[in-house]
Structure 1
């Protein structure tokens, strides 16, 4: 008898198989017991008919407790009512470990309780679906960049400099020096692009931002490509093609998970390049038309502003050419206007806010040196970054995509705390 996983059950229709699984839930109607089984690869219903199994097997099926671990044997049968398309006609059950008083029952639980039990909450069908979608986005990310000639480079997590200032960084001592947990690998990726042409990184980043919104985490993961000889327009094209690719990959490969989450896939099906664009200037005008009279040119956009702008489009929208005063020192000014920079934020539909920030980088040595001095950044810490402009500098561009916000948008969950296995929030370091 073959020992298989639920994800490959479709290969075994009509055959007897053995599963290692946990009991997610169960119900009984007297002469039939229905076991909701999960094994990490998926969920399937096991049906135990009293008249078709030994009495001890049926009694065991009725007495097994939630989240007990089992070996289950049975015949795979097709069932159109099942999201999987199959169920298991159980013939045997072997208990590996009997769980006692599992704390997360099928009743309603508060968020704080579930977060305190995050190590167990991950087992639920909903959380399983979100994690599978996250995994598909990661898989599709590697696929996209590998297919398009990018090289994966891993920037350091401990750094002596900060791309966007040190006010929101976690400080630590690095022996007898000051160091910070990285808020972005961008500066290092620029160095890598000068060596390898087109590069991308994927890793954890940290922001010591005291925010409690549904869009913020203290520790989150970023995908950060950087490209030599790419200007602002080239950069936007890569972004929209990349986002289109990951959305379509989730649609193709996670239909069960999207259905479990109740996601409106018609909205996702529209996410194909090219994406609409609106300049910061025009975005201000649009917000005034929508009744945001308090915002003026030079103000940054908050969540309500981004949501209102996104409501005018059914795809992600680029907001381009922000005021220079709002953006970091390394962004290239526009050729025709010194007060705005060649940057864009990509705003997701449905109120999920910014998922990408990107720009063309300053490649002129004197201009970058002036910006570093203007922002009072330590010259010694940025010496190596300036040297990139001394030895064969070229126009180059890049961006950063926040994985958790993207997972939240594509899966349709409200809060980013559900999109990372163990979220780090302002008041949460456990578990």
Structure 2
């Protein structure tokens, strides 16, 4: 009985979390943080799985719901529609026994204090079991909003089906090993799941199955960190053997790249990490406490250096610019619901402003690495090309950090793109810019 009650609560909270994303514009991470406070810790994995699968297959599930209902639900009944979506996700994308999925989802209606819908939810889920509608239309078939499909088709006319397929997969777990006595191959032997390496990513391991971080040997001691393989290219690309001096990590949270920079930099490197969100900056501090790194953390807007810069130039700047996150959709399926087509041009304007604001902080002969986790040209090579056309002392350094990563990347008009799913990597864009040693006249 206790297990049954906890299962009912889990489904009610999953519906509320999905509704918080769909109706209130909250991120899934925020919604899950609230839901997990109300659910037993043993149920957290299934709660997260239900929410992720419901959002990952959002458009297909909504098309199925439309086919299963005799008439659409009113907008005020959105929570019930989200509960039905959670129920359908269980039947299609989990190993939960069908009778338990149906019965506990129906009981969740009462826990949500909407008992009049119990019969409807029961009827819809049982009708699905009999008829199994697929869902028609491009959005349902691809599980992407139309605007996103159109942008992918325009920017990647040959690759867009593969990008869509990658976005609909579950993201793998990547690890980064700190330089030291244990190499990735040796570390992998002690794991409870197979792990593979990718040429060009010397410190990275990709796990066949995700593991809880507290089960990772050396995680609490900072020997190993969780970081996508593509993101691990940023620090070595920026430093390129550079050991000491002043380094700026703009937009640093949650701190994975910050920690990686400190692991690779020399003992006399001085790193400043900027982020405008105090709560997210605290995550940088927690990451550095765990990995043993030391940096000056500043809560400020990186695009307004007059408020925080001390006037001394930086030899290296990492600009991990705020973006649409269209390259990490498989890791954050809520992005497809939270982003709008109109966001892209606004983000591109902000990215160009940040690049222009930080460039004067770079010392002559210095290097700035512009990074996004976007696959849209408007946020990537278009931004960098505009910047280069207006900045006489800037040029692109097109050399890759090593030849092995060339196979992972697509050359753009400016910069390089990794597409989602390439060797199980997330989608990332990189452009390495250098400042002339002598300012052109």
Which protein has the larger Cα radius of gyration, Structure 1 or Structure 2?
1
Q: Which has the higher helix share?
A: 2
Name the TM-score, length of structure 1 as normaliser. 0.23
Name the TM-score, length of structure 2 as normaliser. 0.22
